Amino acid sequence: MDNNKSRFSFHSFWTPSRTLKIALFATGLSGIVAEYILSTLATYFLGDSVKQFTLIVSVMLFSMGLGSRLSQFFKKNLIELFIACELILSLLVSFCSLLTYGIASVSEWIGIVIYTLSILIGLLIGFEIPLVTRINENYEELRFNISSVMEKDYYGSLVGGMFFAFIGLPFIGLTYTPFILGIINFLVGVLVLFTLSPLFEGNWQRNLKGISLLVLGVIIFGLVGAKPIVRYGEQKRYTDKIVYEEQSRYQKIVMTQYKNDYWLYLNSHLQFSTFDEWLYHEPLVHPVMQFANKSENQSKKEGKLDVLILGGGDGCAAREVLKYNNINSITLVDLDPAMTKLGKQNPIIKKVNQNSLNNKRVKVYNNDAFTFLADSMVFYDVMIVDFPDPKTIEVNRLYTLEFYQLCYQHLRPQGIFVTQAGSPYYAAKAFDCIETTMQAAGFETLPMHNQVLTMGEWGWIVGNKTLKSQELKKAMQSLKINNIETKWLNNDAMLQITSFGKQWKTNEQQIDKVEVNTIHNPVLYRYYHEGNWYVY
């Protein structure tokens, strides 16, 4: 009696219509996450996140339209076709990361691979939705059929987006998240295969069961070998041996080693090398710290300085600031918790930054710098900005007029400000744009530069509220770097880094006037990519 009741309940729940809607929900979930995975891979390998996300999503939606159109030419075996699509999708989605990393290790045409995958996945998803709608018309009238089928697909997209943002990318990573999606597609196919078995024709069910077992074996094989394949593909992107890698919610962090030195990369772009990082961090920190100590700032508490570091999650800038005894507070704001955790806990980075992020005078906040300043009511004597280059629209926002106006508001009257500004030679217009934008925000500015062996000629822009640019230059050149331990920076170097040769820009660069970089007119991002990076 109980067994019959249980059997009745099972069959009454797994009706053909409900099964198809569950399948569409899972397909919507898997499809949207596949879009995000491919967009993230495209960003990582090709750069420019906004462009890649826009193109991948657009290409996939267009392909879904093509798939929907193709479905009209099939009139028979609709359920069998749907299951076949799910099984093919399970393979494509499962192996999208492995294919990308694997092919990237032997070919430069990785963009073709990523966009081909997005087209194929889009075609299959678009092909499936009309199939389910046509199958379900036997169980629901048109107005309920269309709305319920589309509803489940859209609900699945929401759940998929939440899954990718909060679980898939930050915790599971790009290696194994695709396999979870592939397994979802596989289970959907199997569910339909067994639940709607009375509707199959001929030997289709038996053949599809055999194919399903084969697909499952391939997925398991890929799952077992995923990590070494991805690691191999990742390693081929770098000259030196990878000793640490992590996909955070915001970026891919990789550290490599050659002999006794280490290189830190964020999204494959070099941040620093232990071989020569002081050639970058000493000019970034000590000129402004020396200036702040020399200035008579009436707002100081007993001569002590309040320092704000924006970015700099590796802790190297904080290490240099901590060399000064008259520090009241150091506030470090870095968006990525994974980066500051690396600076606090990784033995290699801790040795480099001399355990600076665990110093009691350093307070670390994982927050967006723009939001932090907008919400803050605190003022600072020294502001050190150490963001990545403005390669993307997101980072470009942290070099805008609006951002520098916020910095200006939080800088005390006698305070001093510095930002890394890329290369004055490889990306001269971008370098000029940062200075022009700072001036538009009210700063009197001074450009600086230095040869960093592993990065090439690099630059910074210093800003203050009181001294005119020429006065600021004289003040910087008169600083005495003799009471702080440094590896390279000294009095002679101050003359070098604050001086540029005659006509150091090309005639074309001198003629072209740069615009002010704003949130609504992100010209810096364009100037940066127009730079002469091929020379480097």
Residues with a known catalytic role: 386
Distance CA 145, CA 3 (A): 33
Distance CA 427, CA 429 (A): 6
β-pair partners for 262? 257
Query: What contacts 129, CB < 8 A, 6 or more positions away?
Result: 24, 27, 64, 68, 149, 150, 153
Query: What contacts 241, CB < 8 A, 6 or more positions away?
Result: 235, 256, 257, 258
Structure tokens at 324: 């000064």
Cβ(51)–Cβ(100) below 8 Å: no
Nearest to 362 by CA among 320, 420, 417: 320
Query: Dihedral (C-alpha) 299, 301, 304, 305: value to the nearest 10 degrees?
Result: -40
How far does the chain reach from its first CA to its final CA, in angstroms? 80
Whose tokens are 């910095």? That residue is 407
Cβ(292)–Cβ(416) below 8 Å: yes
What is the phi-psi region of residue 204: left when phi exceeds 0, alpha when psi lies from -120 to 50, beta otherwise?
Answer: alpha
| Residue 46: CA count within 13 A, CB half-sphere | 22
Whose tokens are 């803050």? That residue is 376
Distance CA 113, CA 23 (A): 28
For the four alpha carbons of 412, 416, 421 and 425, in that order, the dihedral sign comes to positive
Whose tokens are 């569950």? That residue is 22
Distance CA 108, CA 42 (A): 13
Backbone angles phi, psi at 8, to 5 degrees: -65, -40
Q: Write the burial class of residue 296 (CB in 10 Å: 0-12 exposed, 13-18 middle, 19+ buried).
A: exposed
